[in-house]
Amino acid sequence: MTQCAQVIEVMRNNGGYATFGQLNTLVDFSTWKTLTPHASIRRIVQQNKKFFKIQPELWALKKYEDIVLNKFQLKTKDKKQEELFTHSYYQGIVVEIGNIKNFDTFIPSQDRNRLFLDKPLKDLTSLNEIHDFSYSEILRYAKTIDVIWFNERKLPHSFFEIEHTTDMKNSLEKFFELQDYFARFFIVASISRKRQFNDIISKSIFNSIKNRVAFVDYENIVNQHSKMFELSQINQLI
């Protein structure tokens, strides 16, 4: 079986779609005569017309296009549904990275039944309830953050807000209220929104957190996701 045929079979068995992270885990590389099988998978998927792109790092079989788009409710090109899918997709990506890094992961209660691909986000996170790390007023803000990573001492390590279409100012105001904690703050969004981020974070009201909030674009975060799966697989072989 050719390398391309193996990728197609794995993707078909996965429902007709897969992230590069999933492919890196599911494809059997034992017969591949290459030192860079993960790069080979990218080349196969990105250059072959048998595949099509849904989101960065998320691809599907062209033959299954109608099935996959219907599954994700993207067939009708409904803008609201596309926004919900995109937001949940990147929430799931950030949660999975946190899990691989051995952090406790949390998402807001209102998002727990939303889907990351075919799984409810609640099935990915390690926490059903937020760690009681502060006063009730502080927890009220924290509970609305899209993704939180907690360290082994049950204190927040990183806060993430996924900003697909919503107002970044609201997210930065949440970070402002959480600034007394030794934690990292991230805005995850399309690279096209970076100028907007820079304009807002430069306002004087955010001076105290300006140097603590990082902008991470979608391509960057999904590349990290794929690399984490590659590294975790390599570590299992050592």
Tens of pLDDT along 167-186? 899 999 999 999 999 999 99
CA distance 117 to 90: 10
pTM (2 decimals)? 0.90
Pick the range with the lowest mean pLDDT from 29-43, 84-98, 203-217.
29-43
Query: Would you place residue 162 in the very low, low, confident or very high pLDDT band (cuts 50, 70, 90)?
Result: very high
The pair of structure tokens assigned to 121 is: 């986000």
| Beta carbons within 8 Å of 220's beta carbon, 6+ residues apart | none
Does residue 228 carry a pLDDT above 60?
yes
Q: What structural domains and CATH numbers belong to the chain?
A: 3-74 (1.10.10.10), 79-225 (no CATH)
Query: Would you place residue 200 in the very low, low, confident or very high pLDDT band (cuts 50, 70, 90)?
Result: very high
Average confidence (pLDDT) over 106-134: 95
Is residue 158 within 8 A of residue 132, CB to CB? The reply is no
Tell me the percentage of the chain whose pLDDT exceeds 70: 97
Does residue 230 carry a pLDDT above 80?
no
CA distance 230 to 214: 25
Does residue 238 carry a pLDDT above 60?
no
pLDDT per residue as tens digits for the range 203-213: 999 999 999 99
Other C-beta atoms lying within 10 Å of the C-beta of residue 77? 8
Amino acid 232: pLDDT: 66
CA distance 186 to 90: 13
Amino acid 235: pLDDT: 53
Amino acid 25: pLDDT: 86
Q: Give, in order, the Cα–Cα distances in Å from 230 to each of 25, 48, 208.
A: 8, 22, 37
Amino acid 237: pLDDT: 45
- Pick from 138, 82, 128: which is nearest to 107 by CA? 128
Does residue 105 carry a pLDDT above 90?
yes
Average confidence (pLDDT) over 78-106: 94
